[in-house]
Chains A and B, each alone.
Chain A
Amino acid sequence: MNQTVIEIEDLSFAISGKQILEQIRFSVPAGQRLFIVGPNGAGKTTLLRCLAKIITDYKGTIKVQNKDIKAYSQKKLAKILTYVPQVLPADIPFTARQFVLMARYPHLSPFSVVGREDEKIVSDAMEMAQTACFADRVMATLSGGERQQVSIAAALAQQAEIFLLDEPATYLDYKHQRDIHLLLAKINTTYGTTIICVTHDLNSAVLSADTIIAIKEGKIVFEGASKDIMNEKTLEDIYSKKFDFAQHPVTGQKIIVPDVIE
């Protein structure tokens, strides 16, 4: 078993009286691909935002590399984990390269200049994320898929060991969805990066995750190996609807199929 990189104990969070997360408790071994699923409003994004220290007024403890994240400075924490939001703002006036370069922030002191090494790290990251070809275009002119690739390139350039991704492929077409999932898998196998990814796409979760956690109404309702979630009863409990299943023609994995709409 790999070393534990994230340990969440009794995490609860309420906003204006409404309980968003309740007694969440799980741990993540280094290098794991963990997908978090669940219905809308279940608290998935909130959970990621707590992990990224964007939300700080939660109850319970979150430990990253055996240390409470509240004991880290934001900058120190940014060397270890990075958060990729669902979408970047559409009007970013910087070029893709400038944006990725800014991800070197945790590695630079306020007055140090971007060095040759940083430039190389940025170039490599953009190459790996297949974004080098539009490096000099302004972010605002890129498509949603391209912007998302740049967002992941920036996370790579940040050289964090843990990636927190909030539905990275939700608004993308099939090709870009595949590109993002392939990229994440490649990052995971190349650098041993821990991937924690929130998604609504059960099939791609089951095909690429090691572990899946399902959250419903702020509580963990399923935690286990990814293939075990493809169970009629389990899924019905999570989503309050019936599912039809099929077998993936290549891997034989049980997957869900779209509902027939008459």
Chain B
Amino acid sequence: MSKKAAINSIIIFALLVVLVTPFLGPIKIPFSALMDFKLTTIAGKIFYTFRLPRVFTAFLAGAALACCGVALQAMFRNPLAEPFTLGICGGANFGTAIYLIFAASIPVPHCGIAFSFAGSLGAVLLVYGLTKIKKGFSVGTMLLAGIAINFFFSSLILFLQYISDFTQSYKMIHWLMGSIDVDGFRVPGVLFIFTAVGAAIIAAQSANLNLMSISDEIAISRGVNVKVTRKIIFFATSVMVAGVVAFCGPIGFVGLMAPQICRLLVGHDHKILTPASILFGGAFLTLCDTIARIIIPSSQMPVGVITALLGGPFFIWLLLKDKDGALI
């Protein structure tokens, strides 16, 4: 497949997914429901309050995760770098878990995202601090440190679960599995702002990412301010991860998978790779979420279950495919 054809098929795939999936689900939505803007029919209500916002939310979350993955993988020159392996999600998880426990006693409504952002930013500062403190930190060590950070936050979350009551604990478990339950356009609206800001920042770094994906030495020698670019990418990533985790919980593997598949399809130039991954990641998560919605009709399976089920085997395939067997 030529690159042009690959780009076109990603665009068509994304469009198809966004156009078709809102109509899929246990309750049939007739096309007439589309015109029901006043939400007088049940189908119209379902379509505009649940289905469409949910599709948008899933798309934005997938897009954000894929975008983070692209940038982090280029920056660390490692296909395993993504918000999860670097501990950024762990931080956001912890922030949100605290919010879930204390939500009742916080006077400001809907401020979960602030907690999530504080968490992701905290984790990013930790990761960034590590690269600063110890010079010549290898990427492998960096990822190991990220995994350690993730475990650390996971334990904190377990601790929070342990001390919280049953309802809070259930809420937390459901959210930790990664689920996209939305009601109306508030969530996709806020998520849009976070994703758009983050993605715009990262898209503007395309030329820097291209050079940094070769080596920092080459990037510096060509005139890239590597230190500043790193800070910008860490910041943009923590913004996007905060949005995703606050509204959808930790959703794994999209950030890892989408950029990898897109690299195989459209090549390594970030001017094309970044938008392609954003579209593909968005469409992929929307598709996973649709499967999660309809696979067991009466219950709403968390999307995290599906992405991890698809992501796990993919990850193994990626490891096997790698010719030198030396991803790290």
Contact = CB atoms under 8 A, between A and B. Distances in A.
A96 to B, nearest CB: 13
Nearest to A82: B221
A15 B134 CA distance: 12
B80 to A, nearest CB: 15
Contact of B222 (A15, A76, A78, A94): A78
B58 interface: no
A88 B218 contact: yes
B220 A98 contact: no
A74 B218 CA distance: 12
A32 interface: no
Contacts of A75: 223-225
Nearest to B211: A102
A105 B222 contact: yes
B221 A89 contact: no
A13 interface: no
Contacts of B211: 102, 105
A52 B223 CA distance: 10
Contacts, number: 69
Contact of A54 (B135, B214, B217, B267): B217
B214 A92 contact: yes
Contacts of A73: 223, 225
Given A74-B223, A79-B223, A85 B267 contact: no
Q: How large is the interface on B (under 10, 10 to 19, 20 to 34, 35 or more residues)?
A: 20 to 34
A85 B214 CA distance: 12
Interface in A86-119: 88-89, 92-94, 98-99, 102-103, 105-106, 108, 110-111
A110 B204 contact: yes
Q: Which of A102, A110, A111 gathers most chain B CB within 10 Å? A: A102
Q: How large is the interface on A (under 10, 10 to 19, 20 to 34, 35 or more residues)?
A: 20 to 34
B164 interface: no
A94 B269 contact: yes
B21 interface: no
Interface string B206-226: 010011001111101111111
Contacts of B45: none
A105 B214 contact: no
B203 to A, nearest CB: 10
A158 interface: yes
Interface string B170-203: 0000000000000000000000000000000000
Contacts of A106: 222-223
Interface in A216-245: none
A88 to B, nearest CB: 7
A53 interface: yes
B210 A102 contact: yes
Contacts of B215: 85, 88-89
B230 interface: no
A110 B220 contact: no
B207 to A, nearest CB: 6
A142 B269 CA distance: 19
A77 B269 contact: no
Interface string B256-278: 00000001000111000000000
Contacts of B225: 73-75
Return the 9 tightest CB-CB contacts between A and B, nearest first: A78-B223, A106-B223, A75-B223, A83-B221, A93-B268, A105-B222, A74-B225, A54-B220, A74-B223
Interface of A: 15, 49, 52-54, 73-79, 82-85, 88-89, 92-94, 98-99, 102-103, 105-106, 108, 110-111, 158
